[in-house]
Amino acid sequence: MNISVSHVQAFGKTLANNLEKVIVGKAQALELMTIGLLAQGHILIEDIPGVGKTMLARALAKSIGCEFSRLQFTPDMLPSDVTGVSIYNQSTGSFEFRPGPVMSQIVLVDEINRATPKTQSALLEAMEERQITVDGVSHSLATPFMVIATQNPIEYEGTFPLPEAQLDRFMLRLQIGYPSLADEMNILDLQQIQHPIHTIQPVATVDELVEAQEAVKRVYVSDAVKRYIVEINRATRSHGDVYLGVSPRGSLALYKTAQVKAALDGRNYVLPDDIQSLAEFTLPHRMVLNPSSRLRNLSPVQVIQEVLASVPVFDGNYQAE
């Protein structure tokens, strides 16, 4: 069944309202989580401990009735702890595959930078190809499939920085941040008896989610907007402060998330405003700055802001004819 943009908009509002019962006063973070879910992407939440990163992932899974698994990455973890392992069954005389935690629908990877690069790489195939390979045998992952990873940007002791190939597979990187005074007081009231995560109920089914994910793919993107996306990414590759610019996967991420943003705003076409509002969440983590730029404390977000200010918005008919 083909569903309309209005149905996608209603789906997004219902989901965000349900998530707000757990994560108070963070409308932008909840919208970005919804965008990542509907765009079939993966999300990296980079923030300090205690602001609700894990609870947000759990609440998202409960809201749509998805299978949920949690991986706490540590330095002693092995790739088989993520993907699963083949075990010899003496009674049948054959090897049987025992699936790992990644064989779920929403997978929370807590403190992803705590594991060694070898273990981190176990997620690469799963995140890009929606399958894992164990002992030469490929196993398809569930639909929908989403990885939500967290990391602490302050504490670096005992951590392993995520390689560029891993970062590039995250469609969005976001922060939750501290709550306001009123919101933090509200959190105290809400958790006086028990955590709201224990009481929230599903507000959508997996089938409804899949229908919404398919619907946003039909949101119209004009040639002028497509060119705007590509020119932004090309500008990062020639920027004087950038050693490694945004990859074509970054263009796809901006394209797909903009389609969802338009649908959540009730439009069946993408505007340049959608691109501008999502660029700082889809692009900075895909760039590597020059050493001299890092010494000047220049951030990738600042580079993206400079690029947005320099790349012209191309004229065109943004709506489908």
Specify the CATH number of the domain 5-76+104-214. Answer: 3.40.50.300
Domain ranges of the chain: 5-76+104-214, 219-310
Q: How far lies 305's CA from each of 277, 286, 296, in Å? A: 11, 15, 16
Only one residue has tokens 């405003």, namely 273
Preceding amide of 117 cis, omega within 30: no
Specify the CATH number of the domain 219-310. Answer: 1.10.8.80
Contact of 147 with 123, CB cutoff 8 Å = yes
Tell whether the model's pLDDT for residue 318 goes beyond 90. Answer: no
> Directed axis angle between helix 5-19 and helix 27-38, to 10°?
130
> Strand 146-151 vs strand 106-110: parallel, antiparallel, or unpaired?
parallel
DSSP of 131-200, one letter per residue?
EEEETTEEEEPPSS-EEEEEE-SS--TT--PPPHHHHTT-SEEE---PPPHHHHHHHHHHTSSS-GGGT-
292: left (phi over 0), alpha (psi -120 to 50) or beta: alpha
pLDDT in tens, 270-314: 999 999 999 999 999 999 999 888 888 889 999 999 999 999 998
pLDDT in tens, 87-99: 888 888 888 888 9
pLDDT in tens, 2-31: 678 999 999 999 999 999 999 999 999 999
